[in-house]
Amino acid sequence: MKKIRVKLAIFFVSLMFISSVFSFFVSIFFNNSSIRNELKLDEEAIAISILELEHKTDLSIDDIVNITSNFMYDVKIVEDINSLSITKEELKKIQDHEIVFLSRKAFPVATTMLMLDDSYIKISLHSNNNIFKMVSSRVSITLFSYVIIGAFLIALLGQRAVKPILKLTSATKEVAKGNFDIQLENTSDDEIGQLTKNFNKMTRELKSIEYLRKDFINSVSHEFKTPIASIQGFAKLLQNGNLSDDEKQEYTNIIVEETARLSKLSSNILKLSKLENQEVIDRKAVFSLDEQIRKSILLLEHEWSKKNIDFDIELDEVKYQGDEELLHQVWINLLSNAIKFSNSNSTISIRLYQINSAVEIKISDTGIGMDEKTLMRIFEKFYQGDKAHSYDGNGLGLSLVKRILDLCGGSICVKSKLHEGSTFTVELPII
C-alpha cells in the first residue's frame, strides 16, 4: 500500500509535468508571431549582407552563398522559381530586386527571397531547424528545471505535510482500541487543523457517551436488581410456614409494591424508547391546556393530601394544539416530583401565561432543592440526585419530559437551590 506522501509526490510531479507540457505548447502558440518577426529580421539582415557583398566585392554568387550560410540559416540558389508557391505579386517584387519575406502555409518554415543578378536566392532555416525547435530550445530547460526542482521540494516537504495525518492515523488506532482520553495538539487553522479539532471533539463526545453508557448500564442493573432481590427474599420467607398472618400480609404487600415498581420501570423504559425513535407527533388535537393542568393536580390528590400541600394556582385560559396524552405525562411527572420533594404543609406554585405565540408554565416548590451537580445531570436517563434512594423513583421521569417537549418543539429549564426548592419552566409554541 502506497504511503500518502508518495501519492502526493506522484500527484504533484504529474501535475507539474502535464502543466509544463501544456505551457510548452501555449508558449509556441503565443510566441509564434514574435519568432517569425525575429526570423524575418535575421533573414533580411542576411539578404542585405548578400547584396552588399555583391556590390562591394568581386565574389561569385556561389561564393557569396557559401559565405552567408551559417549553422542556423541555409542560403542557396533556386534553379526553378516555379517550384515554389509564389504569387505573381511576390514574384514581381523579387524581380524588381526587393527583399520579400514569405510566411504562409505553403512556407511552414519562414523564408526570404531576393534576386541577385539573374539568380533567385532563397534564405531559410536549415531543414533540421524549425520554429518548434527554436521555442523548445528556449523553454525546455526552464520547464525541465521546474519539474525537477518541484519534485525535489515535494519530496523534501512531503514528510512534514503528512505528519499531522500520520498523527491522526495513530490516534485513530488508539480510539479503535477504546482509548478515548487521547487528544492531539493543534496549532493550525487549515483543513488538517479543522480535522484535528473535530477529532478531539469526537473523542471527548465518545468519552462522554461511554461514561453515560456505563452509568446507564449500572443504573438499569441497580433498578432491576434491587426489586428482584427484594421479591426473591420475601418470597423465600413466605415459603416458611412459621409466619404469622400479619407477617404474611406485610411480605405480600412488599412483593406487590416491588412488582409494581418493576412494572412502572419497564413501562417508562418502553415509553422512552418509543419516544426516542419518534421524530414527529402524529396525533394532534385542540384542547384546553389550563384545564389539563387542573385535572393533573386532581389525579395526584392522594399524594399531595398525605403531605397536606396547598397549591397557589394562576392559569390563563389557553387553547393548545398538540398530543394531549403526551403533554399529560409531562404535567404528571413534574407535579409528582414537586409533591415528592416538597415538605409537609408547604405550598406548590403553578403559573400558566400566554406570551405572544408561546405559553410558559412554571411549577415551583419549596422543597429540598438540588445542588449544581444534580442540576447538570437532572435530565439524564436513570440519574437520581438522591443516591440513598430514600424517595421512590427510577430516574426516567424527567428524561421522558425532556423528550416529549423536544418533540413538541418546546423547552424546559430548571432553577434550584439546595434546601430552598426548585422551579421548572416549560415553554411551548402555539401553532
Average pLDDT, the chain: 79
Residue 39 burial by Cβ neighbours in a 10 Å radius (0-12, 13-18, 19+): buried
pLDDT of the residue at 56: 85
Maximum Cα–Cα distance for the chain, whole Å? 154
Q: Please check whether the domain covering 191-274 is classified as CATH 1.10.287.130.
A: yes
What residue spans in the chain does CATH classification 3.30.565.10 cover?
278-429
Q: Which three cell numbers stand for residue 136?
A: 523548445
pLDDT given at position 287: 92
Residue with more model confidence, 109 or 245: 245
Give start-end residues of each CATH 1.10.287.130 domain in the chain. 191-274
Which one is the CATH code of 4-133: 3.30.450, 1.10.30, 3.40.50, 3.30.2450? 3.30.450
Range 305-318 average pLDDT = 92
Going from the C-alpha of 236 to that of each of 108, 250, 272, 383, the distances in angstroms are 112, 14, 34, 31
Helices (H) and strands (E) in the chain, counts: 11, 11
Is the pLDDT reported for residue 227 higher than 70? yes
365-420 pLDDT, tens per residue? 999 888 888 888 888 766 665 554 445 555 677 888 888 888 888 999 999 998 88
pLDDT in tens, 125-179: 776 655 555 555 556 666 677 667 776 776 666 666 677 777 888 888 888 887 8
pLDDT value at 288 more than 90: yes
Taking residue 363's Cβ as centre, other Cβ atoms within 10 Å add up to: 21
Confidence of residue 107 (pLDDT cuts 50, 70, 90): very low
Across 83-102, b (16+ Cβ under 10 Å) vs e yields ebebeeebbebbeeeebbbb
Q: What is the pLDDT of residue 1?
A: 41
pLDDT of residue 106: 46
Distance CA 165, CA 4 (A): 9
Confidence of residue 223 (pLDDT cuts 50, 70, 90): low
Neighbours of 34 (CB within 10 A): 9
Q: Where in the chain is the domain with CATH 3.30.450?
A: 4-133
Between residues 78 and 264, the one the model is more confident about = 78
Q: What is the CATH number of domain 278-429?
A: 3.30.565.10
pTM for this entry: 0.46
Residues 41-90 have pLDDT tens digits of 888 888 888 888 888 888 888 888 888 888 778 888 888 887 787 888 88
